[in-house]
Amino acid sequence: MQSELLSALAGTLLWFKCENLQKAGAFKSRGAVNAVFSLSHEEAARGVATHSSGNHGAALARAAQLRDIPAYIVVPENARAVKKAAIRQYGGEVIECAATLESREARLAEIVASTGARFVPPYDDDAIIAGQGTAALEMLEQVGDLECLVVPVGGGGLLAGSVIACADSGVEVFGAEPEMADDAYRSLQTGRRVTSHTPNTIADGLLTTLGERNFEIVRDRVAGILLVSEREIVDAMALLWTRLKLVVEPSAAVTLAAILRNPDVFRGKPTGAILTGGNVDVTDLPFRTAEPAR
């Protein structure tokens, strides 16, 4: 999708890849389907399991439903209700745990041991990375003169898949990340993957630290990681609603926020932005009560 106003604000032509309209409401369906249907019959027989703050869990539950196998999804207790409901809607079993990575991994290990289910990682996995990268691959096919691509980065599966997809295209790929969850930015600045931090952002899909495999892939291929404030994320959500009539998650809006914050980077360069998901509670949209930016 395109908007003349948003392109004018950015000083360049913008294209938006609307993964908020994807099955299960997010780009995560790409990796989940690829991973589940890559399993042999023997590997898939006892189901799949993962830990997720929401979107990967729903996508994996849907992929498992398509293959008619069980899905066990470990979810932090503070995950948004709309995301837990989506997992259940696709037939997944929701198992809640404390809101720490350590608790998620420990509870997942218990589930895998008791059920024999196959662990499908949310982002740091070859099949997941390859599946997520198809969003960028499609953009390259659909927009012939693209020069830049902006991708949200949490665990990094989408960013890793995107830099691989764009490797021989000449397209510069940028990651976009909240200032309040800036582990990928700091990882690339120091050359060492940040493994422990305390994120505090409205972009709940970007709370996870950059995966080890993904860090190795993006470290030397990404053009940079661009940071945005919480207010810029909310303002970008409002712009996408008013100009494109799209409701997107805060984690998706970071791409537009990053483009608007860095006009000198993108001016005159046709740019794509991946809107990664739309699983948000429409009764609690943050821009409904926010005052206009000054």
What does the pLDDT look like over 41-66, one tens digit per residue?
999 999 999 998 778 999 999 999 99
Give the residue with greater pLDDT, 208 vs 257.
257
> What pLDDT, on a 0 to 100 scale, did the predictor assign at position 293?
44
Exposed e or buried b per residue across 111-124, where buried means at least 16 C-beta atoms within 10 angstroms of its C-beta: bbeeeebbebbbbb
State residue 289's pLDDT score: 54
If you average pLDDT over residues 260-268, what whole number do you get?
A: 97
CATH of domain 28-122: 3.40.50.1100
pLDDT for 294 equals 39
> CA–CA distance from 258 to each of 27, 36, 130, 151, 179 (Å)?
19, 33, 25, 10, 11
Q: Which amino acid does the sequence have at 149?
A: L
Name the residue type at position 78: N
H-run or E-run covering 183: helix 183-190
Which amino acid belongs to residue 85?
A
Interval 219-253: pLDDT, tens? 999 999 999 999 999 999 999 999 999 999 999 99
pLDDT > 70? residue 290: no
Percent of residues, the chain, with pLDDT higher than 70: 98
Domain ranges of the chain: 4-26+127-288, 28-122
Per-residue pLDDT, averaged over 193-207, amounts to 90
pLDDT at 251: 96
Q: How far apart are CA 173 and CA 21, in angstroms?
A: 22
pLDDT of residue 53: 74
Percent of the chain with pLDDT over 90: 82
Distance CA 146, CA 14 (A): 9
| Residues 207, 122 contacting (CB under 8 angstroms) | no
Classify burial at 247, counting beta carbons within 10 Å of its beta carbon; exposed 0-12, middle 13-18, buried 19 or more: middle
Integer distance in angstroms from the first to the last C-alpha of the chain? 27
Q: Is the distance from CB of 80 to CB of 281 less than 8 angstroms?
A: yes
Q: Looking at residue 94, what DSSP letter applies? A: E
CA dihedral 97, 100, 102, 108 (to 10 degrees): 30
Average pLDDT over residues 135-140: 97
258: CB partners within 8 A, 6+ apart? 150, 174, 176, 226, 227, 228
Residue ranges in 45-89 assigned as alpha helix (H):
55-67, 81-89
Q: What is the pLDDT of residue 162?
A: 98
Which tens digit of pLDDT belongs to each residue from 86-124? 899 999 999 999 988 789 899 999 999 999 999 999 999
Q: Name the β-bridge partners of 260.
A: none
Q: 4-26+127-288 — its CATH code?
A: 3.40.50.1100
Which amino acid makes up residue 215? F
Q: Give residue 101's pLDDT.
A: 76
Q: Is 28-122 the same fold as 4-26+127-288?
A: yes
Categorize the per-residue pLDDT at 145 as very low, low, confident or very high, splitting at 50, 70 and 90. Answer: very high
pLDDT (tens digit, 9 = 90+) per residue, 175-184?
A: 999 999 999 9
Mean pLDDT of the chain: 93
Which tokens belong to 91?
């037939």
Q: Rounded to an integer, what distance in angstroms lies between the CA atom of residue 236 and that of residue 268?
A: 20
pLDDT value of position 288: 67
Question: What is the DSSP-derived secondary structure letter of residue 25?
Answer: G
Query: How far apart are alpha carbons 246 and 277 in whole angstroms?
Result: 10
Question: In degrees to the nearest 10, what's the CA dihedral of 122, 124, 125, 127?
Answer: 60
